[in-house]
Structure 1
Amino acid sequence: MKTLREASVGETLKVRRLNGEGALKRRLMDMGLTNGCEVFVRKVAPLGDPVEITVRGYELSVRRSDAECIEVE
């Protein structure tokens, strides 16, 4: 399955699964990234870190390592 790190700018995707354990998974969920929510990829920094997304009506920057833990379709 595709991860958020592999997404292209301008894509709208649905979160299917959050990989990771404990504090990482809780932090992602606290930021609004839950199963079934839609995310829009706004920007990716030149070196790929961070990824800026729109989720639930607000902008969020996610580290590349955290974006690898978010499976999307």
Structure 2
Amino acid sequence: MRLNDLSRGASAIIDHIEDREPGDPVALRLRELGFVPGEPVRVVAVAPFGGDPLAVKIGFTRFALRRAEAARVLLRDAA
């Protein structure tokens, strides 16, 4: 499952970030912001009609991500 598929209020664990090309700057930036394997993530808000952005929470920090950016974050179920 990908972060952009997660519904509002749902939580999961980050499995990995997908690189679309070698040295992918978007994937690198996501990692720098704390989107790293094993980190819990929760969707706190979704734009109306399934649009951009998504508001997600990692730890005590909230981020607004475009759906295309969130699609790079692959998840596993929160146990």
TM-score (norm 2): 0.84
* Cα distance per residue 1:28-61 (max 9 Å; x no partner): 0111100010011100111421110111211111
Structure 2 unpaired stretches of 5+: none
Residue 65 of structure 1 is matched in structure 2 by 68
The aligned runs of 1:1-73 (5 Å cut-off) are 2-20=1-19, 21=21, 22=23, 23-46=25-48, 47-73=50-76
Identity across matched positions, percent? 28
Q: Which runs of 4+ in 1 moved over 3 A?
A: none
SS at match of 1:14: strand
SS at match of 1:34: coil
Contact 1:42–1:53 (CA under 8 A) maintained in structure 2: yes
The one-letter amino acid of 2:61's match is: Y
Contact 1:4–1:72 (CA under 8 A) maintained in structure 2: yes
Could you tell me how far apart the structure 2 residues matched to 1:48 and 1:8 are? Answer: 13
The one-letter amino acid of 2:14's match is: V
1:19 is displaced (CA, Å) by 0.2
Q: Tell me the C-alpha RMSD between the 2 structures.
A: 1.0
